[in-house]
Amino acid sequence: MDRDTALRLHEAMLLTRLTEERLVKLFRQGRTLGSIYRSLGQEATSCATAMALGPDDMIGPMIRNLGSMLVRGATPLEIFLQYLGRATGPTAGREHNNHFGAVERGILAPTSMLGALIPVMAGVALSFRQKGERRVAMTWIGDGGSSTGAFYEGLNFAVVQQLPLIVVGESNGYAFSTPPERQMAGRMSARSQGAFTLTVDGNDAAEVYAASLQARQHCLEGKGPVFLVCETFRMKGHAEHDDQRYVDPALLAEWAAKDPLPRFEAWMSRKRWIPDPGLKARLEDRLQQEAEAALGAPWPDPATLERGVFSS
Ligand SMILES: Cc1ncc(C[n+]2csc(CCOP(=O)(O)OP(=O)(O)O)c2C)c(N)n1
């Protein structure tokens, strides 16, 4: 990773964290229409993976991958408008979290159904191969989501067809309140179905980035899909309405010490790559302004309720 990439990756992870913190404030003020699904402590698995892609690659994020959307050009303003359900947001108030895409940015809208994006993104990868395009598709799955039929079906198809698909497995300790051993047999990497599998420390942004570059290269060489398992931990409840009382505080303390942001800052400082000391204040200013702009944005007109929801 060169200095410029490291600085951009650091900024993306910090922006992800601060955007989510701002969303939590809006949630506690009763302003958001739904809950907030944090990626606290998992910023590297969203940002360092997406950062390794080329401009023509496509991502299909899940709800905990807001960072990947920011890396590909989604703005905090759009995110706030979306969570606040305003008319000028990406879905014009039809949906109230990160379920919005932008094909021109290479983002397919996230869907709630766990595993559903694996066959969809395998199809995207198939289209790249059929057209002879040097592009890869990337999507994410939690440990809980990797027990679904759609996950097995999609990854199996990608393996059989040798498709340029990267599936990032977020092994983060819990699925809602269910620990993995209550839902899945064996470690996440055991569910690769023959895909080339890499397991990395998901809280080490430099390692995640290097593995993602390797995964992309593997796909571009026509060697088939990659299952990139990131060992990490969900530092908050499933969402803001969940106080995660079922998680051992000692486990949280253990993972807090492995927070990907300070670790990446320490890695950068060993290389003498020092982020701008004013960066955090600058990002917070930007978020303040964009949150205020979103709070001032109009609500959707009830007369348009069915528009963009049902096909005419
Ligand atoms: C097919 C399906 N089943 C159940 C749900 C409800 N649900 C939403 S998130 C979630 C837990 C997800 O856990 P995991 O895949 O481990 O991801 P994490 O939340 O840990 O990032 C469940 C059960 C769903 N969205 N889709």
Render pLDDT for 290-301 as a digit per residue (tens, 0 to 9): 999 999 999 999
- 298, two tokens: 């109009």
Q: Which two tokens stand for residue 52?
A: 């390794």
Within a 10 A sphere around the Cβ of 159, how many other Cβ atoms? 19
Q: What is the pLDDT of residue 312?
A: 64
pLDDT at 310 over 90: no
Dump pLDDT digits (tens) for 125-152: 999 999 999 999 999 999 999 999 999 9
Using an 8 Å Cβ cutoff, are 19 and 97 in contact? no
Instruction: Report whether pLDDT(212) > 80.
Output: yes
Marked catalytic residue, from 3, 134, 241, 246: 246
pLDDT band at residue 307 under the 50/70/90 scheme: confident
The candidate with the shortest Cα–Cα distance to 263, out of 83, 48, 24, 63, is: 48
Record the tokens describing residue 49, joined without a space.
């993976």
All structural domains of the chain: 3-298 (3.40.50.970)
CA 141 vs. chain centroid, Å, equals 9
pLDDT in tens, 44-64: 999 999 999 999 999 999 999
Q: Copy the structure tokens of residue 116.
A: 């559903």
Does the pLDDT at position 311 exceed 80? no
Confidence at residue 305, expressed as pLDDT on a 0 to 100 scale: 87
**Does the CB atom of residue 142 touch ligand 1 within 6 A?**
yes
Burial of 230 (0-12, 13-18, 19+ CB in 10 A): buried
Asked if 263 and 43 count as a contact pair (C-beta separation under 8 A), the reply is no
CA distance 68 to 129: 23
First to last CA, the chain: 49
Q: Is the CB of 112 under 6 A from ligand 1?
A: yes
**pLDDT at residue 76 greater than cutoff 90:** yes
Distance from the alpha carbon of residue 62 to the mean position of ligand 1, in angstroms: 10
Segment holding 151, helix H or strand E? helix 149-161
With a 6 A CB cut-off, is 175 part of the ligand 1 pocket? yes
CA of 200 to the centre of ligand 1 (A): 22
Active site residue 209: no
Residue type, 228: L
pLDDT band for 225, please (50, 70, 90 cuts). Answer: very high
The DSSP secondary-structure symbol of 40 reads T
**253 alpha carbon to ligand 1 midpoint, in Å?**
24
Least confident segment among 123-132, 141-150, 177-186, 257-266: 177-186
187 carries an active-site annotation: no
